[in-house]
Structure 1
Amino acid sequence: MTTSTPPSSLSPSRASDFMQCPLLYRFRVIDKLPQKPSEAATRGTLVHAVLERLFDDPAAERTAPRARAMVPGQWDRLLESRPELAELFAEDAEGERLTGWLAEAERLVERWFSLEDPTRLEPAERELFVETELASGLRLRGVIDRVDVAPTGEVRIVDYKTGKAPRPEYAEGALFQMKFYALVIWRLKGVVPRRLQLVYLGSGEVMTYDPEVADLERVERKLLALWEAIQAATESGDWRPRPTKLCGWCDHQALCPEFGGTPPVYPLTVPGAAAVPEQETVRETA
């Protein structure tokens, strides 16, 4: 029988998963189902790698041509660490799709230079893993793209997005991840970041927000309520799908009841539930 462990921490991505669809959260965190790599997500990873590595160079050498030239090499490095990504272009015998895909990554990297000047930046941290435990016992964790610290000590959290900036009515959802990071920094270091900055390379826009303590306290209350809901679902095994237009992008439609599928046998023990016969477990997971 498949075994798993209950979730013990929360990241911005997994929090967003649960808010989008509890069953999606279960598939990713409890069942640990594999996700197919996508061209868009992989391009985002590639662009992030270039923008991180660019700061290894002296300030004067951080130019757009230099950054563009880094793209093919960083793609090779990414393939070395994740060979499964080669499947994205397995049927691209002539290499035309790959060439166009890399060219788009180069355009996104170059667009960044119209939004920020890396020759005037010296990040305090890049790809910073952060983790803290709240008084409630909930552990929060995540990876911040870039942290800038001014000479006066003010902190700016920066996140790169390879898509387009959302419409104003969806701005709050876009800022959730950044407020999550700000909360972690505040609880970890006792410092409220001065600015949260989202850099949208797809549309060439920058979104900023200056948080206050009250903002972060609201986020903390929201996360605690979210965690209580996750714990309740974990203990009961009741993970309801939440159909939205995003379902069309989900890798797990074949297992979703909304599309006539059956989820895998729940790998955690549910108090009071009857044990699943071994042969049924094999049938369901085969």
Structure 2
Amino acid sequence: MTTTQETAAPTDEAGSVTDLGAVRAPRRPALSPSRAGDFMQCPLLFRYRVVDRLPEPPSSAAARGTLVHSVLERLYDAPLGQRTREAALALLPGEWDRLLEAEPRYGELFAPGGDAAGSTPEGWLDGAGRLLGTYFTLEDPNRLEPEARELRVEHQLADGGPLLRGIVDRLDVAPDGALRVVDYKTGKSPRPGFESSALFQMRFYGLVLWRERGVLPKMLQLVYLGDGQVLRAEPHERELEVTEQKVRSVWQAVERAARTGEFTPRRSRLCGWCAHQAVCPEFGGTPPALDPALVAERLGVDVGTSPAGREPARPLLPVAGASSEPDA
């Protein structure tokens, strides 16, 4: 997703480049639903993904999700009447090749120790094909004509808030102008009691579209291909206003963590899926040193350069809406 970012290094009054090593000018403060979810789950995970950008081993679930999304996006290029299960399955090999070209590390999935070790590429693709087959039991793409697929959306929050941004899998617009926001999930639907957390991403998108278009989305729809369930919600204005308040609260907590340097780990059942246990204090690890200049560059937060110039530490409280199950 695109964001406005200065690429030139800062200069002094004489016009020479200021010596800040490899640090670039701060980016525009921005937040996506995925990164907001990371922070709500565990501030240290957010730091490792956004600031340190520590590598993570390729995930079979992530690769399958990306592949299935690509096929469903391409499927709607076909004319009405030709968007069949067979057509979707025929797209799989080519889309997999494109994915491997863009992300060669996914080829490591089937190597010893890989996330899909013991599987063959053919068998793994068959699993993706079954997910696509489930899609056709839930929707008839020949009766749909989306306004957009993989739609990049952005909205700048006022009063010092961040830029909200995301990618909507599919946006349907009815003849009367009603909006339906659709997201595909290759995992299973949430257990009872976790629906609200699952819908945070959709309310985030609904908020951005509402603010940008001036139209309140009629329907938010999550399509779960892992178990053939569809989760729907009709948002109302107050609900999306609460979502905006939650996002602002998350961003304020991000700014506070950036200025204090305290991205506190939060232990949960999701730790079992985390790739960073070796550098997590909850598991006896030690986080790498935090570079304030890198924090400023990648978060767009003015953090100062010395401990004396930073805010005093404040405890980070859990933010309502954090998911307690992995998102596929």
TM-score normalised per structure 1: 0.91
Q: 1:117 aligns with which of 136, 140, 149?
A: 140
| TM-aligned CA deviation for residue 116 of structure 1 | 0.3
The residue aligned with 1:24 is 45
Q: 1:273 aligns with which of 284, 307, 310?
A: 307
Number of aligned residues: 273
Determine whether 1:88 maps to 2:112.
Answer: no
Partners of 2:28 and 2:163 within 8 A in 1: no
| TM-aligned CA deviation for residue 273 of structure 1 | 2.4
| TM-aligned CA deviation for residue 263 of structure 1 | 1.0
Determine whether 1:135 maps to 2:158.
Answer: yes
Determine whether 1:105 maps to 2:128.
Answer: yes
The residue aligned with 1:62 is 83
Q: Distance in 2 between matches of 1:6 and 1:34?
A: 21
Q: Distance in 1 between matches of 2:157 and 2:230?
A: 31
The residue aligned with 1:162 is 186
Q: 1:249 aligns with which of 268, 273, 278?
A: 273
**Shift in CA distance, 230/69, structure 1 to aligned 2, threshold 3 Å:** same
Q: Distance in 1 between matches of 2:36 and 2:22?
A: 24
Q: Distance in 1 between matches of 2:123 and 2:105?
A: 20
Q: Distance in 1 between matches of 2:23 and 2:80?
A: 50
The residue aligned with 2:61 is 40
Q: 1:50 aligns with which of 53, 71, 75?
A: 71
Partners of 1:147 and 1:158 within 8 A in 2: yes
Q: Distance in 2 between matches of 1:100 and 1:268?
A: 46
The superposition leaves residues 128-168 of structure 1 with CA deviations (integer Å, 9 ceiling, x where unpaired) of: 01111011232100000000000111000000000111112
SS in 1 for 2:199: helix
Determine whether 1:151 maps to 2:175.
Answer: yes
Q: Distance in 2 between matches of 1:13 and 1:134?
A: 17
Q: Please provide the CA RMSD for this pair.
A: 1.8
Partners of 1:134 and 1:187 within 8 A in 2: no
Determine whether 1:204 maps to 2:219.
Answer: no
Greater Cα shift, 129-138 or 154-163: 129-138
Partners of 2:92 and 2:129 within 8 A in 1: yes
Q: Distance in 1 between matches of 2:72 and 2:106?
A: 20
Unaligned 5+ residue runs, structure 1? 275-286
| TM-aligned CA deviation for residue 7 of structure 1 | 7.2
Write the letter of the residue equivalent to 1:107. Answer: R
TM-score normalised per structure 2: 0.80
SS in 2 for 1:221: helix
Q: Distance in 2 between matches of 1:239 and 1:250?
A: 16
Partners of 1:7 and 1:30 within 8 A in 2: no
| TM-aligned CA deviation for residue 6 of structure 1 | 6.9
| TM-aligned CA deviation for residue 35 of structure 1 | 2.1
Q: Distance in 1 between matches of 2:200 and 2:128?
A: 26
Partners of 1:64 and 1:110 within 8 A in 2: yes
Q: Distance in 2 between matches of 1:216 and 1:261?
A: 39
Unaligned 5+ residue runs, structure 2? 1-20, 294-302, 309-328
**Shift in CA distance, 23/6, structure 1 to aligned 2, threshold 3 Å:** farther
Between structures 1 and 2, the one with greater helix share? 1
Partners of 1:24 and 1:241 within 8 A in 2: yes
Which stretches of structure 1, 4 residues or longer, exceed 2 Å deviation after superposition? 1-7, 94-97, 269-274
Write the letter of the residue equivalent to 2:204. Answer: F
